[in-house]
Amino acid sequence: MAGAKVAIIGSGNIGTDLMIKIKRLSKVLDLAAVVGIDPESEGLRRAGRMNVATTAGGIDGLIRMPQFEDIEIVFDATSAGAHKRHDAVLRQHGKRVVDLTPAAIGPYAVPSVNGDAIRDEVNVNLVTCGGQATIPIVAAVGRVTPVHYAEIVASISSKSAGPGTRANIDEFTETTSRAIVTVGGANQGKAIIILNPAEPPLIMRNTVFCLCDPGEETTISASIEDMVMKVRSFVPGYRLKQDIQFDPVRSALTPIAGKTASETLLKVAVFLEVEGAGHYLPGYAGNLDIMTSAAVRIGENMASTLRAQVA
C-alpha cells in the first residue's frame, strides 16, 4: 500500500530537517509538498532538488497545488501565531495536522508516553523540544510513585535557537509546564529554557527534578532507563548523561499540597543530553532533532490509523 501523502508548512531549519527525515527514514509517509513564504529559502531549494513539489505562497499556495487533494497529514513547522490560521484552514479541508509550534490548539503528543492515545486526533501538538526530552522522564517516575512536583531545565545552544524559538520563549515555558502535568502526570510543573552562547556550541542538555513519594529507588531507576531506551528507538542521540540521583527532602522545605511539614519526600534528579542525528543540522542541535524525530513518529502513527480505517 502506498504511503500516506503529507505536506510540510515551513521551510526553515525544522521544516528542512523534517523533510530529510521523512524522505530518508519513513516507509509510511510520502512527502508530497513543502510550503514556505520565501522563494529563495534554502529549504525550498533543497526540496526542489529532492523532487518534492514546492510553493512559496504559504497556506494559500498549498491549497492551490494539485497535490493538495491527496494530502492526508500536514506538518506545521512555522510559528504559534501562524498555526492558528493554518489549523482553521486545514480543518475546513479535512486534513490532519501535526503541530511543531507551541500553539497547543490540539492535545499534547509525546510519542513515548501517549503516542497511541492521541493517534485519532485531528490536530496534535508536539509541546516543545524541552517537553519532548523531559516529559518521558517525569512519566517514567510517575508510573512507579506519585510525582507531586516536576521541574525541568532545558539548555540549548544559542546557535540552534532560530527566530521562531526566540519569538516563542513565553509559549515554551507555559506550554511545557502544562504538558508536564497533563502528559507527564505531575501534580505541578515548571519549565525553564536557557540559550547557551558557549563556543564551540554545546549539545542540548536537560535536567529533570521530581519531588515524589518515597519509592524503591532501583524500581524508579529501571523505569527511567526503560523510558530512555523507548525514546532512543526514534531519537538515537537521546541518553542519560550521568547516574540518576536520589535525595530525601523534608516536606517543610517544599510546600506540597496535602503534605505535612514532618513528612519526607524523595527528590529524583535526572540529567540528559540529546545529540542530533546530523541529517541537516549540526549534531549540537538536538533540540531541533528531537522535535522532528517525534513528528515523524506521530505522523506514522496517524498514517497507520488512517490505513486501518480504510481497510
User: Residue 9: which of 49, 70, 58, 64 has the closest Cα?
Assistant: 58
**98 — phi, psi (to 5°)?**
-110, 115
Q: Which residues contact 310 (CB under 8 A, 6 or more apart)?
A: none
**Cβ-based burial of 64 (10 A; exposed 0-12, middle 13-18, buried ≥19):** exposed
CATH 3.40.50.720 domain position(s) in the chain: 4-126+290-310
**Residue 309 pLDDT greater than 80, yes or no:** no
pLDDT at position 269 is 98
pLDDT at position 89 is 97
Active-site option among 33, 129, 150, 266: 129
Domain 129-283 fold is Dihydrodipicolinate Reductase; domain 2 (3.30.360)
CATH 3.30.360.10 domain position(s) in the chain: 129-283
DSSP E strand boundaries for the chain: 4-9, 29-35, 53-55, 73-76, 96-99, 123-125, 147-157, 188-196, 204-212, 238-240, 245-250, 264-274
50: helix, coil or strand? coil
| 212 annotated active-site | no
| pTM > 0.85 | yes
How far apart, in whole angstroms, are the C-alpha atoms of residue 48 and residue 36? 12
Domain 4-126+290-310 fold is Rossmann fold (3.40.50)
Question: Pairing relation of β-strands 264-274 and 204-212?
Answer: antiparallel
Q: What angle do CA 27, 28, 34 make, to 5 degrees?
A: 95
**Residue 243 pLDDT greater than 70, yes or no:** yes
**Residue 158 pLDDT greater than 60, yes or no:** yes
Terminal alpha carbon distance of the chain: 11
